[in-house]
Amino acid sequence: MMSDLVKVCFDMNRESFQALKRMAREEGVDCSQYVLSIVEGSLKDFVSRDWTLSGKDRRKHPRVDVSIPAISCVKFSDREMRSYPVVVDDISRGGLRISFRDVSPEMGEKLADSLYFEVFFTVPQLSQTVSFYCKRLRHKVDRDMTMVGVFEGHNSEAASMVDAMLQSYIA
Q: Are residues 44 and 75 in the same domain?
A: no
Please tell me which residue, 86 or 31, carries the higher pLDDT value. 86
Q: At 72, which CATH number? A: 2.40.10.220
How much of the chain, in percent, has pLDDT values that exceed 90? 19
- With b for 16 or more beta-carbon neighbours within 10 A and e for fewer, the 107-136 pattern comes to ebeebeebeebbbebebeeeeeebebbbeb
- 51 pLDDT tier (thresholds 50, 70, 90): very low
Residues 82 and 20 in one domain: no
Q: Is the pLDDT of residue 150 over 70?
A: yes
What are the tens digits of pLDDT across the range 74-108? 887 667 888 899 999 999 888 999 999 888 888 88
Range of the domain at 124: 64-170
Quickly count helices (H) and strands (E) in the chain. 5, 6
Together in a domain, 70 and 126: yes
Query: Which helix (DSSP H) or strand (DSSP E) does residue 74 occupy?
Result: strand 64-75
Residues 144 and 79 placed together within one structural domain of the fold: yes
Claim to verify: residue 20 and residue 101 sit in the same structural domain: no
- Mean pLDDT is lowest, of 16-30, 45-59, 60-74, 91-105, for 45-59
N-to-C CA span, the chain? 42
| Cα 163 from Cα 61, distance rounded (Å) | 11
- Please state the domain count of the chain: 2
Pairing of strands 95-100, 116-123: unpaired
71 and 134 inside one domain: yes
- Report yes or no on 125 lying in a domain: yes
One domain for residues 49 and 115: no
Are 38 and 79 contained in the same domain? no
Concatenated DSSP letters of 103-117: --HHHHHHHHT--EE
- Considering the domain architecture, whether residues 143 and 101 belong to the same structural domain is answered as yes
Is residue 32 domain-shared with residue 87, that is, in the same domain?
no
Same domain as 50, residue 112: no
Per-residue pLDDT at 97: 94
- Angle between helix axes 14-27 and 31-49 (nearest 10 degrees) is 90
